[in-house]
Every structure is written in structure tokens, then in C-alpha cells.
A and B are shown apart, each in its own frame.
Chain A
Amino acid sequence: DTGVSQDPRHKITKRGQNVTFRCDPISEHNRLYWYRQTLGQGPEFLTYFQNEAQLEKSRLLSDRFSAERPKGSFSTLEIQRTEQGDSAMYLCASSLEAGTSEYEQYFGPGTRLTVT
């Protein structure tokens, strides 16, 4: 257990439905990342938050995807009108930023999404 939790761990949904995932980072971590990983591949960056500000989004993140981090604590990732190609493991990671120093990322267990 890295201290980063994600909910739910598994989600099965029908094509066209909306889904929302939650990530609770380690409490003092101000950086939060969302990634997507498909079977046999490395993770792909989706988006990055520094505190409550969303500072970078991947071009992979179509307008059906939205992420929030209200109050700089937990974060949610919503996928609207899901498609079969959205089936993947969605990973959240958090880290601490102090000045210009960078620290290791702590990954959550992931939410496995299956779109039928």
C-alpha cells in the first residue's frame, strides 16, 4: 500500500454511459497525475494537477474526459459517453514538489475500466 487510494477498483459499464473515478493522494502531496495503461503497454500521461490547478493535459484527453481536483486534495476523472477503446487501467499518482526539487511518484492501485 503506497498511501494513494483509488475508487472503484473495477468498473464495468456499457458503451455510452458516463463513469467517474476518484483518487485520494497522500495528504501532503501537492502534485497529482492521472495515467492510462492498456494491457502490455507502459502508462500514458493524461493530466497533471499542482494543488487545485490543472496545469497540463494530454492531447489524448478528448473532450469526453474531464478531471478536477477541488481544494487540492482528492481528484476525480470523468469519462462521458464511454467507448470500447476507453477500456484500460486508470492510474493515479501523487508526489511532493518542494521548490525546484522533484520527488518520486507514489502510484495508486488503479481503476480497471471495462466498456462492453
Chain B
Amino acid sequence: KNEVEQSPQNLTAQEGEFITINCSYSVGISALHWLQQHPGGGIVSLFMLSSGKKKHGRLIATINIQEKHSSLHITASHPRDSAVYICAVRFKGTYKYIFGTGTRLKVLA
């Protein structure tokens, strides 16, 4: 069965902390996306990964194909990073994306 699990579901951090959000999936994938959704706002794509690591500003995304696991890291977190972070996976042999349940992040000043 094609499944995606995210952890933690909720995360509260102090400004400046290093944050890690995890995504695990069940079988081989073609692509994995990390998305950000602000309350009442639209969805923005942060990264698309099929292997390795990507960095954009304070955000870093990694994927370990053998372990079937991806992480999103936020360095020097800021209150404006408060949002829901969602992992979305396209399994091999399908065009369909399966989404994780999301991680609700709150960064306190």
C-alpha cells in the first residue's frame, strides 16, 4: 500500500531554533515535494527532490532513497516560518500524489 507518514504533527519552537520535520514513505518513489501552507493561505512549493539534498536560504531538504525517508530542516527559525509543512510523494508507476497529514509549525518570538 502506498503510504506517506509525517512527523511530528505539531511543533512549537522558539525563534532561532533548528527545526526538523520528517516524512517516511512505504515504497519506491518518482518524486517527493515539500510544500508550505500558511493559515488561510495558498500552497507554495518549497522543494522537489528525487535524490540527494537541496538548499534554499534557511531551508534544507534531504532524501534517503534507501531508507525511504526525507527531512525538511529550517535553520535559525523565525515567526514568519509558522505554517503547515506538507510532504507529497509520487510513487513509481503512477501520476498520483499522496500527501502527508502535514506538520503544523509555530515559531514563537
Contact = CB atoms under 8 A, between A and B. Distances in A.
Chain B's interface: helix, strand, loop or mixed, by majority?
A: strand
Contact of A104 (B48, B96, B97, B101): B48
A55 B30 CA distance: 16
Chain A's interface: helix, strand, loop or mixed, by majority?
A: strand
B43 A107 contact: yes
Interface in A95-116: 102-110
A62 interface: no
Interface residues of A, number: 24
B83 interface: no
Contacts of A85: none
Contact size range, B: 20 to 34
Interface string B21-59: 000000000110101000000111101101000000000
B68 to A, nearest CB: 18
A53 to B, nearest CB: 11
B30 A105 contact: no
B102 A58 contact: no
Contact of B42 (A2, A41, A55, A58): A2
